[in-house]
Amino acid sequence: MTMKYAFPKEFWWGSASSAPQTEGENLSFGKSATTWDHWFEQEPNRFHGNVGPQQTSTFYQHWREDIALLKQLNHNTFRTSISWARLIPAGRGEVNAEAVTFYNQVIDEMLAQGVQPFINLFHFDMPMVMQELGGWENRDVVQAYGEFAATCFDLFGDRVKHWFTFNEPVVPVEGGYLYDFHYPNVVDFKRAATVAYHTMLAHALAVKAYRERQQGGEIGIILNLTPSYPRSQHPADIKAANIADLMFNRSFLDPALRGEYPQELVELLREQGQLPDCRPGDAELLQQGVVDLLGINYYQPRRIQCRDSLVNPESPMMPEWFFSSYEMPGRKMNPHRGWEIYEKGIYDILTNLRENYGNPRCFISENGMGVENELRFDQGGQINDEYRIDFVREHLKWLHRALQEGSGCLGYHMWTFIDCWSWMNAYKNRYGFVQLDLATQKRTVKKSGEWFARVASHHGFD
Ligand code: BGP
């Protein structure tokens, strides 16, 4: 009997996590501090419940049991990241042997359990020694990242066949240089543009290093794509939504898939005097950064209207000089995270990629729902998270429709596997298929985890 929502047999079913959010043991086993450790030391009050990056979910100790759980939940793929600060504590140069042993064990165990490792190289976790040199504002750090990436390929590329250079590279730009939710808490558009630009140069360096090695795998990038929907068809709203799309989506999507920036974005930044320093050779390098595979993180749409007030000429330039966000009446919300839930967005993203970007190899690399105080839903020792099952099912229905229309989407990964530490929100909202008891570190599969395991083994659902 065929299922109503049948997916290809080779479809990737899995979930995603990251080193800084799960490993724990932040300042031990040779690991140096990241910007998160430093910021937490300076301003612990900025983190929910004063819980910092050192209290993450002990994957460093429990990797073997955690990988057994991956298998139990019928994952055929799983993404995590390699911590630059753990592998190369000084940022450049000497490799930490304990880190090599750790990552080798993780990769080998995943493969032994039939779970393909998807490995990302940067998940918001700049080593503090590199930030002290200026982080992504400094081209030496771009070079250092290229060396780190090459080291990872040399050490692990014989077994890892799916690599990613960055997770959501726009987020450190927004958080660190515009909106004050990542270190170094700068508010400066031109510096933000420089960080964005240098990140893509670093990405291209890593792609180039990977291709030079001919290891028979593929390399991509993971972007959080937020479709921009105008409030109305009024030309002013459409223009505003287009600028938001250029700044938040196409600023990374176009270089990743076309090897160049959209001319409209370049013109806008030039008019505003915000263009970063572009040097000879950059354009050629960027062209080499066109990816084999695109990861798409999708959580929420971006609804936009034109501004209806003048900009204070003394305020620092912000993307919002050119548009305002629009709260659509009747929108469905996840109140815990404050994000709109709009399942069709996943279909719109995949359709846009198919129609305008040559239908690249891609997959949904994150989608998920953070919920506060999930213990409310405990039934006989298990979290009965029906809301999460609904969330995933409704998104998968739209993904299925996109596949029927010819999308090149190859898989679906959930954020996340085991409840993990979420930056400034720490453990406020839980996202996992598996509940984490913070006091005991005990892992208990939620209802959604069981549901997902069935979907993965049946290649779909009714
Ligand atoms: C993505 C990140 C993840 C994860 C997730 C949930 O942006 O790639 O690292 O944290 O969002 O968001 P948050 O933790 O902010 O609730």
Q: What is the pLDDT of residues 287-310, one digit of tens each?
A: 999 999 999 999 999 999 999 999
> pLDDT at position 57, please?
87
Whether the full predicted model's pTM is greater than 0.75, yes or no, is: yes
Q: Is the pLDDT of residue 222 over 80?
A: yes
pLDDT per residue as tens digits for the range 434-457: 999 999 999 999 999 999 999 999
pLDDT per residue as tens digits for the range 168-193: 999 999 999 999 999 999 999 999 99
Cα 299 to ligand 1 centre (Å) = 9
- Is 220:163 a contact under the CB 8 Å cutoff? yes
Q: Is the pLDDT of residue 107 over 80?
A: yes
From the candidates 168, 174, 343, 374, which is the catalytic residue?
A: 168
The torsion angles phi and psi of 73, rounded to 5 degrees, stand at -90, 20
Average pLDDT, the chain: 98
Residues having CB within 6 Å of any atom of ligand 1: 18, 21, 167-168, 171, 224, 297, 337, 366, 370, 415, 422-423, 425, 429
Ligand 1 atom nearest to CA at 368: 6
Q: What is the mean pLDDT of residues 320-335?
A: 98
pLDDT per residue as tens digits for the range 402-433: 999 999 999 999 999 999 999 999 999 999 99
> pLDDT at position 199, please?
99
pLDDT band at 55 (very low <50, low <70, confident <90, very high): confident
Q: Is the peptide bond before 184 cis (omega within 30 degrees of 0)?
A: yes
pLDDT per residue as tens digits for the range 358-386: 999 999 999 999 999 999 999 999 999 99
What residue owns the CA closest to ligand 1's atom 14?
422
Ligand 1 pocket mutation, candidates 47, 125, 415, criterion most atoms within 8 A of CB: 415
Cα 102 to ligand 1 centre (Å) = 24
Per-residue tokens: 82:
């390699």
> pLDDT at position 188, please?
98
Q: Is the pLDDT of residue 235 over 70?
A: yes
- Is 218:164 a contact under the CB 8 Å cutoff? no
Residue 184: closest CA among 248, 148, 149, 133: 133
Ligand 1 atom nearest to CA at 423: 14
Residue 265: closest CA among 288, 247, 285: 247
What residue owns the CA closest to ligand 1's atom 15?
422
Catalytic-residue membership of 132: no
What residue owns the CA closest to ligand 1's atom 4?
422
- What letter represents residue 461's amino acid? F
Cα 250 to ligand 1 centre (Å) = 20
Q: What is the mean pLDDT of residues 265-276?
A: 98
Rg from Cα positions in the chain: 21
Per-residue tokens: 139:
């081209």
Q: Is the pLDDT of residue 244 over 70?
A: yes
Alpha carbon of residue 299 to chain centroid: 11
Catalytic-residue membership of 174: no
Ligand 1 atom nearest to CA at 431: 6
Residue 67: closest CA among 100, 113, 21, 18: 113
> pLDDT at position 1, please?
64
pLDDT band at 147 (very low <50, low <70, confident <90, very high): very high
Cα 422 to ligand 1 centre (Å) = 6
Per-residue tokens: 205:
């360096």
